[in-house]
Amino acid sequence: MRLRNITGSREIIGESVFVVHEPERQKGNWRNIFGNNNPIHIEIGMGKGRFLMDMAKVYPSINYIGIEKYSSVLLRAIQKMEREEQPLSNVRFIRMDAETIGNVFEMEEVDRIYLNFSDPWPKDRHAKRRLPSREFLARYDKILKKEGQLEFKTDNKDLFLFALEELEPAGWKAEKISYDLHRDKDMSEGNIMTEYEEKFSSIGNPIYKYIIKR
C-alpha cells in the first residue's frame, strides 16, 4: 500500500502523540512508554492500523505497536486514532522500514509479532524484501521472546508457500497452519480482520495463516 504523497503528512506525524519519534532511543525501554509491564505485540506493515486498533480494544492489557514504512499511510492510522471517542492508551505507531527493527527493540523485548497481508515482492531478486523471508525471520529471532509466536495472514498463495519454505532454513517451525482461515473453526476463533483481509475475503479469496515459533 502506498498512497499519494499528502502535503503536510510529515508535519502531522511529527506532532502526533501517537507516534514514537526517534524509536531507537526507546530500545530496551518500551515499557516506560506505556507506563506498565504489559506484553508488547507489534504489527509490521500495519497499513492504516485497523487491525491493531481493533485488537487494542479487545485486549486492553496488551501494548500494541504498529510499524509502517510510508508517511502517507501512517497518516491514515493517526487520523483513524483521532476519530476514536477515546484514544487508545495501549497503542503507538512507528514510521520506519522494518529492515532496521533490531535498532528499535532489545533482544527478546517483543512478545508477539503480526504480519498481515505483507507486500508480495513477486520478483525472485526481491525475495529478501518479503517480510516473512528468512532474512526478516533472523531479525525477528533477535527481538522476539524465546517462547514468542509470530502470526502471518495473507491471501497470496505464492507468498504463503514461500513463507512456509523459509521456516526450516531459518530455524522456525509451524504451530498451526490454515489454507482457508475463515472456514477453519479452530483458527478462525476470535479472528480480527485486517483491512486487506476484509477486501480480499469479500471477493472470495481464501485467507492463509500460520502461527510459528522457534
Catalytic residues: 119
> Which residues ranging from 61 to 80 are in contact with ligand SAM (CB under 6 A)?
67-70, 73
Buried b (16+ CB within 10 A) or exposed e, 145-157: eeebbbbbbbbbe
Shortest CB 49 distance to ligand SAM, Å: 8
Residue 98 in contact with ligand SAM, rule: CB under 6 A: yes
Residue 91 in contact with ligand SAM, rule: CB under 6 A: no
Backbone angles phi, psi at 5, to 5 degrees: -60, 130
Rounded to whole angstroms, the Cα distance separating 157 from 59 reads: 30
Between 91 and 98, CB nearer to ligand SAM = 98
Pairing mode, strands 208-213 and 173-178 = antiparallel
> Which residues ranging from 104 to 133 are in contact with ligand SAM (CB under 6 A)?
116-119
Shortest CB 202 distance to ligand SAM, Å: 13
Between 116 and 149, CB nearer to ligand SAM = 116
Going by C-alpha positions, the residue among 96, 135, 94, 137 that lies closest to residue 115 is: 137
Rounded to whole angstroms, the Cα distance separating 172 from 168 reads: 6
Between 6 and 168, CB nearer to ligand SAM = 6
Contact residues: ligand SAM, CB under 6 A:
1, 44-47, 67-70, 73, 97-99, 116-119, 194-197
